Amino acid sequence: MSRTDAAGLRAAAARVAMAVLRDGRNLEEGLDAEPAAGRERATLQSLAYGTIRWFFELDACLALLTDRPPERLDPPVRCLLLVGLYQLAHGRTPAHAAVAETVEAVRVLGRPRASGLVNAVLRRFQRERDLLVQRAHRDPQARHAHPWWLIEAIRRDWNERAEAILESDNLHPPMWVRVNARRVDASAYRARLAEAGLDASPCAFAPEALRLAQPVDVRILPGFAEGDVSVQDAAAQLAPRLLALDAGMRVLDACAAPGGKACHVLELQPGLAELVAVDIDPGRATRIRDNLARLRLAASVKVGDATEPAGWWDGKPFDRILLDVPCSGTGVIRRHPDIKLLRRPADIPAFAARQQALLEAAWPMLVPGGRLVYASCSVLRAENAAVVEAFLAARPEAVEMTESARLFLPAPLPECGRGPGLALPTGAADTDGFYYACLDKRA
């Protein structure tokens, strides 16, 4: 890659970072606005994601390197400086190249007069890195690379596990896949991966899950186009077994997009009477249909608001309901580091209110004797156990059965957070943070 191309990628990374920091867009939207493809896109993604992942540390260092607060700098210049600092602090590019290419990127951004500032800041950081990082880390936000409100919330909810969760959030996420049990078993597929030069390890408590030693493009996975395998974190693969499915059941997957859990349900229990998958977003509902088609599975996909069943429900009750609620996503921060910047403290009670409304709306659709599994990819108690506790207190016919449901999993789970329900912390068995609660309705 020429220096000009490298400078262009750094300028693009600064634009992506600016889309998050200034415009409030997520990283995927910012990346999609850039024309990079193939290896260039992979490099751009690494730079942009790394810069946002370490933003609170990098910005604290930047504050020590300039004579004005970082938020008062020209936004494109500030974001480019953050990209440069990320390369020097956490990247693999040789320091001299990182500095030179980032300085060159100033011109690509149309800010040539800032080249002296960028050069001076990066070279000083290169010389005084250890001291500057040490000073920056006096602030817990910089030390943990998380906003203060989230650090406090995780410490409050997880006590001695909090530090491990915060550390896991800053790691590159592993790539987990789910083997389609209708087509091949996990051990046979692992052998196919080995033949393709891909090393993978199994997960005891999620038998269809394999963890790849290195992330790869899905097109490289043997049989991906034919539906032999899907990408899904191992923690998300617990849902079908907690549902305790039997042939002939009618199942609802509410808030179902992009359809990974619905497809897993159908892979494990082909004898269902019907699976209804509902999502409020038409575009995301299309993704459910696309995943079903690739895996050669059938379900009834409906566009509708799960809090207003009258708009899509036919009145026939369900034997099982999977309620995978919209949430803060704090259990998947390592996959979506922009969550640290886009979420606000006020978002959490708003999510909790929505989750409570979804639970209240879903419960009447469940047959007496049926089971509802409440799931979220948050690690915050306010969105998980607190919602379930409030529901149980108001519904005497609801019985929390998560602990007994765990006994039917193929293997014990890693240490979990306090109940009710099952709270997996981020990084446990190298999985995402996830929460489940199994709620049975008394007959």
Selection from 59, 61, 9, 53 nearest residue 31 by Cα? 9
Torsion of CA 50, 51, 57, 62, to 10 degrees: 150
Q: Give residues with Cβ within 8 angstroms of 354, minimum separation 6.
A: 307, 325, 326
Whether 306 and 254 have beta carbons less than 8 Å apart is answered as yes
Residue with tokens 């043997």: 222
Active site residues: 377
Tokens of 264: 């897993």
Whether 252 and 278 have beta carbons less than 8 Å apart is answered as yes
**What is the C-alpha to C-alpha distance for residues 432 and 348, in angstroms, rounded to an integer?**
19
Whether 182 and 230 have beta carbons less than 8 Å apart is answered as no
Classify residue 368 by burial, with Cβ atoms within 10 Å: 0-12, 13-18, 19+.
exposed
Residue 422's DSSP bridge partners are: 436
Selection from 176, 244, 239 nearest residue 211 by Cα? 176
